[in-house]
Amino acid sequence: MKKQNMKMETAVIHQGYDSKVHHDSLATPLYQTSTFSFSNAEEGENRFAGNSEGNIYSRLGNPTVRVLEERMKEIEFGEGALAFGSGMAAVSAILVYLTKAGDHVLCSRGIYGCTFGLLEIMQEKYGITHSLVSMTTEEEIEQAIQPETVCIFLETPINPTMELVNLEAVVAVASRRGIQVVVDNTFSSPYLQNPICMGADFVLHSATKYLNGHGDVVGGILVGKDKEEIAQLRKTVQKDMGGIMSPFDAWLLLRGLKTLHVRMDRHVANAKKILAFLQKERSVKKIFYPFDPSHPQYDIAVKQMREGGGLISFEVEGGKKEAQAFMNALSLIKIAVSLGDAETLIQHPASMTHAAVPKKERDKMGISDSLVRLSVGLEHTDDLISDLAQAFEKAKLELQEI
Ligand SMILES: *Cc1c(COP(=O)(O)O)cnc(C)c1O
């Protein structure tokens, strides 16, 4: 395992920034500029040729964005990082970078809805195929690999069922076959899981979620364990497809990131208290949380994650009607997609984030109509639990009256 220069708690605050070269400014300055001027034509020529260090144009690099990239590189144990305008811009950049017409991408049994949408476009337009399989053992993964497979793209825990992928098994098979492994680490954040330390080649994040943590930025991050590959990505797909992060969003992210460890500790502590409450609630049929000892892959969870995270999915007794009545009865907890914010959010995957997945597929993935997903925020758990309790009660009474 690669050793960090600093502990993560220190790196999220200091890494990649030197105040001495920024007029002693404590906070990272916001370089809100599209372009940079050269002192003469030769300097411009040299920068373009890569013979002299320096900025050219913000799509090719911006000092505020660079600080964020340096920081992310460190906390995900990589050798290089790139910031994008959204999580999906990071997903599309790495998939375009790794594939060509005729290739195959092997995916975990669940992947983010838009990642699935992108893979469908790639299949239709460029003949790049994909398949979704369970990845708990090496045998399962071996069997799913095709001669055309160039990369394994996975999420763990999988949204919203919290099913886990066995990272050790994936990396073992991939390295035997010479296949690259890409992990969407959005759900865990770098604080709870570091796939590069386990042998993954690339890690990506929707920075919109825990990294920023304040629900006011859409962004993406890609970290790689090979410096040259990240440099290549920067010079090619990132520059030419252009899905870069704005300096202002990088500035907000640097601000949000400083408290990642503090926030994650509280998200986890709150999630554990809510889990204990839900386990006793009679209107709850089934709970999905990685660090719940009754989780079918609890052994994998404790091996590859430091804690179970801030997301809990659960099925309410009944079906869609009961789930929606419960959600409507909440008052403090907001009905919204996205996750990782200070506010506790609840959503109904079957009709929202996974509505585009055909019902038959949803059933196979374990996404029933009674399933809701809770992103536990940073409020006091007494307030959250009393909101949940009154909503279960209110929904029950309302449905009895009908
Ligand atoms: C939100 C999310 C994405 C997409 O990120 P955007 O920032 O919305 O583009 C990708 N993967 C996961 C797991 C997500 O939760």
157 and 290 in contact (C-beta within 8 Å)?
yes
Q: Which CATH superfamily is domain 260-401 in?
A: Aspartate Aminotransferase, domain 1 (3.90.1150.10)
* Cα of 98 from ligand 1 centre, angstroms: 19
DSSP readout, 270-289? Answer: HHHHHHHHHHH-TTEEEEE-
* CATH assignment of 3-30+61-257, among 3.40.640.10, 2.60.120.260, 3.40.50.1100, 2.40.420.20: 3.40.640.10
Q: pTM above the 0.75 mark?
A: yes
Look up residue 398 and give its DSSP letter.
H
Helices (H) and strands (E) in the chain, counts: 16, 12
Give, rounded to a whole angstrom, the gap between the first and last alpha carbons of the chain.
Answer: 59
> Per residue in 362-379, is it b (16+ CB within 10 Å) or e — as a string?
beebbbbbbbbbbbbbbb
Ligand 1: list residues with CB < 6 Å.
86-88, 112, 155, 159, 184, 186-187, 206, 208-209, 218, 220
Token duo for residue 109: 């049994």
The residues pairing with 108 across neighbouring beta strands, listed in sequence order, are: 133
57 is catalytic: no
Q: CA-to-CA distance for 213 and 259, rounded, in angstroms?
A: 9
Domain coordinates of the chain in residue numbers? Answer: 3-30+61-257, 260-401
Residue 59 bears catalytic tag: yes
Cα distances from 128 to residues 36, 117, 147, 150, in angstroms, run: 39, 13, 13, 10
The Cα–Cα gap between 199 and 194 comes to 9
84, 88, 182, 217: residue to mutate for ligand 1 pocket, most atoms within 8 A of CB: 88
Catalytic: 226?
no
* pLDDT tens-digit profile, the chain (402 residues): 455 679 999 999 999 999 999 999 999 999 999 999 999 999 999 999 999 999 999 999 999 999 999 999 999 999 999 999 999 999 999 999 999 999 999 999 989 989 999 999 999 999 999 999 999 999 999 999 999 999 999 999 999 999 999 999 999 999 999 999 999 999 999 999 999 999 999 999 999 999 999 999 999 999 999 999 999 999 999 999 999 999 999 999 999 999 999 999 999 999 999 999 999 999 999 999 999 999 999 999 999 999 999 999 999 999 999 999 999 999 999 999 999 999 999 999 999 999 988 898 888 889 999 999 999 999 999 999 999 999 999 999 988 876
CA distance 323 to 335: 12
Closest to 239 measured CA to CA, from 93, 92, 79, 51: 93
